[in-house]
Structure formats: structure tokens, C-alpha cells
Amino acid sequence: MTYEIERDQALKLLHQMLRIRRFEEKSVELYSQMKIRGFLHLYIGEEAVAVGALQALTPEDAIVGTYREHGHALVRGTPMGSLMAELYGKATGCSRGRGGSMHFFDASRRFYGGLAIVGAGFPIAVGLGLADKLQSKPRVTACFFGDGAVAEGEFHESLNLAALWKVPVLFLCENNLYAMGTALARHQAQTDIAMKAAGYGIAGQTVDGMDVLAVRDATMKAAEAVRKGQGPQFLEFRTYRFRAHSMYDPDLYRNKEEIEQWKEHDPIPTFIGRLREWKCLTDEDVAKIEADVAAEVEKAVAFAEAGPWEPVEDLLKDVYTPVPDRGRTKC
């Protein structure tokens, strides 16, 4: 398969993938230093999906993510410092430190989580799409989910409703072959996920999720179809996570050979190799990107370190929206 790509665009994609990789490698280090606690689900290995797919979105579009959403938030443009501060639980975090790794939110960029109940994002995405449709807003909602989520009832309910109401939603499956520790073939009778979409009258397509250009091009095309009013579209990206499910996972359910085999398709070195082959990239380019990313990560950590904790007095703040005379009426 051949792709058209400008050098600037290529460098940008590489830069974004490296930002995710280095941000997460740093977060592992900080986890072992106990700066970060709770669950930490790493995206390492899957970077090409978020980076490629988000090229198809405009700032007006919406994203509904999962608990493995560090990459999506980074590519969306939420400052790395506020994401690192969120991992720390600091008040300067993108969710005021209240969410942590699994609950990144950014209203200004229409980033609706960071949702940690598998499958729970589907209905939200359908609703966002419905709102756009009813208000005649030409926007797209990108709904990310993993292969594990296709076992949830909400997957089936929401695909049906999205197709029935022709809402402008892009369903983007990040199939990393494991629902936590359960391999796809051990939880799905039909392992062809795109075929399930066809059951709801949605054209599904399977894409190499380790190839950032393949992801970009497929998502661009699908987003275009959504924008043209053709209703929801569905893409399944075949990908793989190189790290365990979370920091608590001893990774006993996969063999080392399988992981090593997938690492040969690591989206970053393979993309670098290809760009070199195309004479699009020099060693200096890579060194410069790495240096920029290292500096950004370092700055993000410093920002997180310096940030304040939310005062305990604010514990109950924002359970409800502050409004004067809530529930009272003069009528």
C-alpha cells in the first residue's frame, strides 16, 4: 500500500507518537517512585491508533475515550503538564486531580473522558451525536473502545440506535486482542469485530492499527462519510499493548514470544524506518524530536510537582453545579 505524506506531516505524526511513548515511560518511573498511584493503564504499543485517528478530527468534534486515554488527550492538545498533574492527583490536573489516570476530561477540547466502565461511553457518544444532529451542527463524535467492550450489551444497543437514528458518530475499536487478560477468542464467538457492525447495517472495516498512515487514511475517509450525513461509521484497528493491562497485572496470560513478535511491528520504529526509506527523515530529525519530547516531559513533571493539592475543604465542591436558590422558584 502506498501513502502520500508531506515531510512536515510525517514529522508531526512521529512527534505525537513519541510524546505518548515518553510520557508513559516517565509515568511508569513515577509510579515506581509512588508519585502516581491507583490504576495506570498504558497505551504503549498502540500509539499509532490515537495519533492516526485524531488527524481526522477538527477542534469542534468530540472524543469519548476509555480508561486507556493518555494518548488521545495528548494528541488532542491538552497540555502535557496538566495531564501529568492529573496522574499526580494535583489540583492543576486536567480534572482537578479528581480523576487520575482513568478520568482525563477537557471541556475546552470536547474531550468527554476518560470513562472506566467498559462500554459506558457508547451511549454518551450516541447522545452527543444526537445533539449535533438535532441542532444541525456538522460535528463528529469519535467513540474509542477496546475489544473487550464489544461483549457489553451497550455496544450492541448503541450500534443499533446510532444506525437507526443515523447519528454522526465514528466508532473506533482499538482491538489489542485482550479484554484485560482474556484473549479475544476466549470471549467472542465471532472474533471478526467489524462484522458485528455489519449486523447493524454499519459498514465496518479492519485496519492495521500499528501503521499510523493506514489509521489516518481510514479514519479520514470514515469521518468524511459521517460528515456527509451517511450515518455512523465503524473501524476496527488491530493493535497490541506491549505492557501489562495495568501496573497491578503480572501479565501471566500471554507468552513472551507473542509480545516480542508484536514488538517487531512497533508503530514508532517501523514508521521511522519507512520515512528513512522514503528519504523523509534524517537522524538529526529524530534526535531533535526526541530532545523536544524529553524537554516537554521534563517540564510536565516539574509542573505536576509544583502544583498544589486541592484543599480538603473543596471535597464536596462540584457534586452539583452551583446555582443560586437551587430548586427554588418564585412562581
Partner 1 sequence: MVKTTYREAVREGLREALLRDPRVFLMGEDVGRYGGAYACSRGLLEEFGPDRIRDTPLSESTFVGAGIGAALGGMRPIVEVMTVNFSLLALDQIVNNAATFRHMSGGQFSIPLVVRMATGAGRQIAAQHSHSLEGWYAHVPGITVLTPATVTDAKGMLLTALTTPDPVFIFEHAFLYPMEGELDENAGPVDISQAVVRRTGKDLSLITFGGSLWKALEAADRLATEGIETEVIDLRVLRPLDRPTILTSVAKTHRALIVDEGWRTGSFAAEISAQIMEGGFYSLDVPVARLCSAEVPMPYPKHLEDAALPSVEGIVQAAQKLVGGS
With binding defined as CB under 8 A, does residue 127 bind partner 1?
A: yes
Reading phi first (left if > 0) and then psi (alpha if -120 to 50, else beta), residue 253 is in alpha
Among 1, 107, 185, 252, binds partner 1 (CB under 8 A): 107
Q: Classify residue 45 as exposed, middle or buried by CB count within 10 Å of its CB (0-12, 13-18, 19+).
A: buried
C-alpha to C-alpha distances, 10 to 49, 70, 296, 308, nearest whole angstrom:
15, 21, 20, 38
* Angle, alpha carbons 264-214-210 (nearest 5°): 25
* Angle, alpha carbons 201-204-209 (nearest 5°): 165
Answer for the pair 112, 105: CB distance below 8 angstroms, yes or no: yes
What residues between 164 and 203 interact with partner 1 by CB under 8 A?
164-165
Least Å distance, CB 152 to partner 1, is 9
Q: Nearer Cβ to partner 1, position 34 or 331?
A: 331
With binding defined as CB under 8 A, does residue 115 bind partner 1?
A: yes
Q: Nearer Cβ to partner 1, position 131 or 203?
A: 131
Closest CA to 102 of 112, 110, 113: 113
Residues in the chain: 331
Among 113, 209, 231, 232, binds partner 1 (CB under 8 A): 113
Rounded to 5 degrees, φ, ψ at 324 are -65, 140
Is the peptide bond prior to 114 cis by the omega test (within 30 degrees of 0)? Answer: yes
C-alpha to C-alpha distances, 34 to 95, 101, 200, nearest whole angstrom:
20, 14, 46
Q: Nearer Cβ to partner 1, position 15 or 123?
A: 123
Among 2, 32, 33, 135, binds partner 1 (CB under 8 A): 135
Instruction: Report the distance separating Cα 41 and Cα 131, nearest Å.
Output: 31
Among 52, 71, 99, 148, binds partner 1 (CB under 8 A): 99
With binding defined as CB under 8 A, does residue 153 bind partner 1?
A: yes
Least Å distance, CB 215 to partner 1, is 25
With binding defined as CB under 8 A, does residue 122 bind partner 1?
A: yes
Q: Nearer Cβ to partner 1, position 131 or 286?
A: 131
With binding defined as CB under 8 A, does residue 48 bind partner 1?
A: no
With binding defined as CB under 8 A, does residue 319 bind partner 1?
A: yes
Rounded to 5 degrees, φ, ψ at 169 are -120, 140
Q: Nearer Cβ to partner 1, position 159 or 207?
A: 159
With binding defined as CB under 8 A, does residue 112 bind partner 1?
A: yes
Helix residue ranges, H only, the chain? 7-32, 47-54, 70-76, 80-88, 121-134, 153-165, 184-187, 193-198, 212-227, 256-263, 267-277, 283-306
Least Å distance, CB 158 to partner 1, is 5
Q: Nearer Cβ to partner 1, position 80 or 184?
A: 80
Among 62, 84, 244, 297, binds partner 1 (CB under 8 A): 62
Give the residues lining the site for partner 1 (CB under 8 A). 62, 93-99, 103, 105-107, 112-115, 117, 120, 122-132, 134-135, 153-154, 157-158, 160-161, 164-165, 317-321, 323, 325-329, 331
